[in-house]
Structures are given as C-alpha cells and as structure tokens.
Structure 1
Amino acid sequence: ALLPLAALAGILVSDVSGLVRGETERIWLPFYVWVLAATAFLPRWQRHLWLLLSVVLAIGIEVVVRTEW
C-alpha cells in the first residue's frame, strides 16, 4: 500500500508546485498504474460504486460536452 500512497503524493506535489502547468494527461500516466493498484484494497462494494460513478460521469460528459471531432 506504500507505492500507491507515494504515487498520490507525487501527483499532489507536482500539481501544487506548478511543475505540470499546461501539460496534458500523458504526464500523469506513470502514476495511474499505482493508483489503479490501490483500488485492490477497497472493499468490493466500494469498487462497484466507484465504477458506477465513473460510468455516469463519462456518459454525462459525453452528452453535455460537444467537441468538433
């Protein structure tokens, strides 16, 4: 459980310090592997809840936000 916490701390420090200002999502990719591994420590019902919330958010953004491509 130490590596996911370190990844979250790295994300927080990078964001607060302004290190990644103007960067796209690719700068965060190395951290997401460890954050994803942290979900294994969640109880089963919480994993399902977060998955459901992610799906609802993704569909909501897709319906509301219109892009040219």
Structure 2
Amino acid sequence: MQPPFHPLSELFEQLGLDAGEDDIEAFIDRHSPLPSEVALSDAPFWNENQRRFLRESLAEDADWAEAVDHLDARLRD
C-alpha cells in the first residue's frame, strides 16, 4: 500500500501555520534561504513542538517525510 501524499498546505496545517498558498509562499520568502549547515528542524523559526514533529517525521520515514523534504528544498532555494 502506498503512503498518503501530503501537500505543503497539509504540512503547514499540521505545524499549526497558516496554510493558504499565499501564506506558504510568504513563509518561504521570509525564511529563505536556510543555510546548508542548518538542519530544517534546527531552524530558529520553529517552536519545540514543530521541531519534534519535523524530526520524528524524517527519522521514522513517516507519511509526512516527503512533504517535510519538499519544504526543506523550497527553503534552501
């Protein structure tokens, strides 16, 4: 069975952030570029719950991992 695909809007909702297309683009514009030496979950703009969710999503290769990777890539452009 294929894991569900979560778009960035759902990831933002999961993180407790505004999830409209304009909100997502504004967030990425505001926080880009994220330096290559900073792990996404260690970025200073997350709260502790958000950090934990991002770390666990990647460590467990959870359903959210693909969306987290996508956000990571967008923040590094």
Category of TM-score, reference length = shorter chain: under 0.3
State which structure, 1 or 2, has the greater radius of gyration over its C-alpha atoms. 1
Greater RCO (CA < 8 Å, at least 6 residues apart): 2
TM-score (norm 1): 0.28
TM-score (norm 2): 0.26
